[in-house]
A and B are shown apart, each in its own frame.
Chain A
Amino acid sequence: MLSVTGLESGYGRARVLFGVSLEVEPGQLVCVMGRNGVGKTTLLNTVIGVLPATAGTVTFDGRDITRLKPHERVRLGMAYVPQGHQCFPTLSVLGNLLITVEAAKQPRAAIDAALEVFPALRPLLKRSAGHLSGGQQQQLAMARALVTKPRLLILDEPTEGIQPSIVLEIEAAIQRLHAAGLAVLLVEQYLDIALRLADRFVILDGGQVVRTGAAEELHGEEVRRLLAV
């Protein structure tokens, strides 16, 4: 479904990714892991097109999307939830969902479907998104991604800096979406969450893939060493 080959990118003259390749099959949950600063967020930003790729290709459903703009990729069925529970702060929760549903040219019913996944948002619809807690904003951010009816959901550290009770809700939501057949590309710092969720893992170090494998292999001593800070 998603196929990344020899991807290179970075910021200005500073290169961050040196030829990253990975695959996400339909319905698969692939977890990208690695220490801070190894290029996990850069990889996701390049996959969704916020950062231009300087070399390599990204294909989605067999189509080369390396040069497409982010909004074009969203319309093809990719959704991205960036780091740091971002939202449009002056718009209401409903406004945040509406703007996305309109931009992605989806019917309004998509909002109801997203609220089924995150029912905690329902009583907050009229509230200004800037006034929500971090955990609520993260749920809103994920709901916003869902209203675009994606086939591939890209999540950058969805549990980072979120209160524990909501971490569990978010993990359960990812589990349910995955079980319902959604493909997920996830960056996750917590090994225990990754172990519970992932089908496959990709470990990055220094802008390169150093290890990939099925989830069962994550227990290995070598893997823990690669992730140790």
Chain B
Amino acid sequence: MPAFLNQLPIGLSIGAVLLLIALGLTFTFGQMGVINMAHGEFIMAGAYTAFLLGDLLAALPVAFLVAGVMGLVLERAAIRHFYRRPLDTLLLTWGVSLVLQQLARDLFGAPNVQVPAPSWLAGGVGILPYNRLFIMGLAVAGVVAVWVYLTRTKLGRRTQAVVQNRQLAATSGIDTGRVDMLTFFIGSGLAGVAGVALTLIGPVGPALGTYYIVDAFLVVVAGGLGQLRGAVLAAIALGLLNSYAEFWSDASLAKVIVFAVVIAFLQVRPQGLFVLRSRVLT
């Protein structure tokens, strides 16, 4: 029984990391129709930032900035020429992803590196280790911050408007190009924060992002594009499913189970958990 319960914080913290990653993806995909495979490398960049700085708390804002600026540069330099052509963005960003991974190999070497966890995160309460709690806290803070941004700030309301109807937003006087840049910056920055969180539960390597990017896309698709609530629920569900499937079988069978469940779910609800509904769209 305790072993069974021990999976709970593991599943929840994986879900929390997936959520931080998916928050960025769900908006770049939902708002701009971009399938950004290089999003995983922003996670990796965040993790290496933590490795270089060696200080968890300092790494959080710096990783946000580093990954955010990388996202911004990618958007301005390449992706914006491919808006509304999802398949082309997939190829483009996959290439960028491979380049960035090789760059990391050249800079930091191919072997994994370990980031020492701060002493104040050792131990835990009951079945909940402090490091896993910290990751869950990060995800909660990330969701609250994104929610406040979207609903309480001018720029966030403009972001919502662009997600809901890009053309109408443009003809309402909104500079959609600027909104796109900002969304990319924030989404990529959150992936950097997720990378910092990952240093608490495992080693850091050049391919770190590739382990999470596919699961994060599953969260986006299952939760519904551009849907905050959907991303939260889908991330928690997938995190728990992942860890319990692994607990009862093994790592590779667990992946099969997760994929099978997501495919079955999408047969029933092809639009994901939540959909934008309006008379305009019917």
Contact = CB atoms under 8 A, between A and B. Distances in A.
Interface in A62-107: 69-71, 74-75, 79-80, 82, 84-91, 95, 98-100, 102-105
A103 B173 contact: yes
Contacts of A86: 165, 168, 280
A33 interface: no
B33 to A, nearest CB: 16
Interface residues of B, number: 24
Range of interface residues on chain A? 35 or more
A75 B277 CA distance: 30
A144 interface: yes
B158 A99 contact: yes
A42 B276 CA distance: 27
A28 interface: no
B279 A74 contact: no
Nearest to A104: B173
A26 B214 CA distance: 56
A137 B280 contact: yes
Given A82-B168, A130-B280, A71 B160 contact: no
A218 interface: no
Given A99-B158, A103-B158, A90 B170 contact: no
Interface string A39-57: 0000000001110000000
B178 to A, nearest CB: 9
Interface string A190-219: 000000000000000000000000000000
Identify which of B175, B177, B276 gathers the most chain A CB atoms within 10 Å of its CB: B175
Nearest to B157: A99
B154 interface: yes
B174 interface: yes
Interface string B132-171: 0000000000000000000000100110110011011111
A139 interface: no
Contacts of A98: 157
A131 B279 CA distance: 7
Contact of A89 (B173, B176, B280): B280
A96 B42 CA distance: 34
A45 to B, nearest CB: 8
A148 interface: yes
A71 B175 contact: yes
Contacts of A80: 171
A134 interface: yes
Nearest to A50: B167
B172 interface: yes
A70 B160 contact: no
Given A71-B176, A74-B171, A104-B172, 6 more contacts: A48-B171, A71-B171, A90-B276, A91-B157, A103-B158, A132-B279
Interface of B: 154, 157-158, 160-161, 164-165, 167-177, 276-281
9 contacts: A50-B170, A69-B170, A71-B173, A71-B174, A86-B168, A88-B168, A89-B278, A98-B157, A102-B157
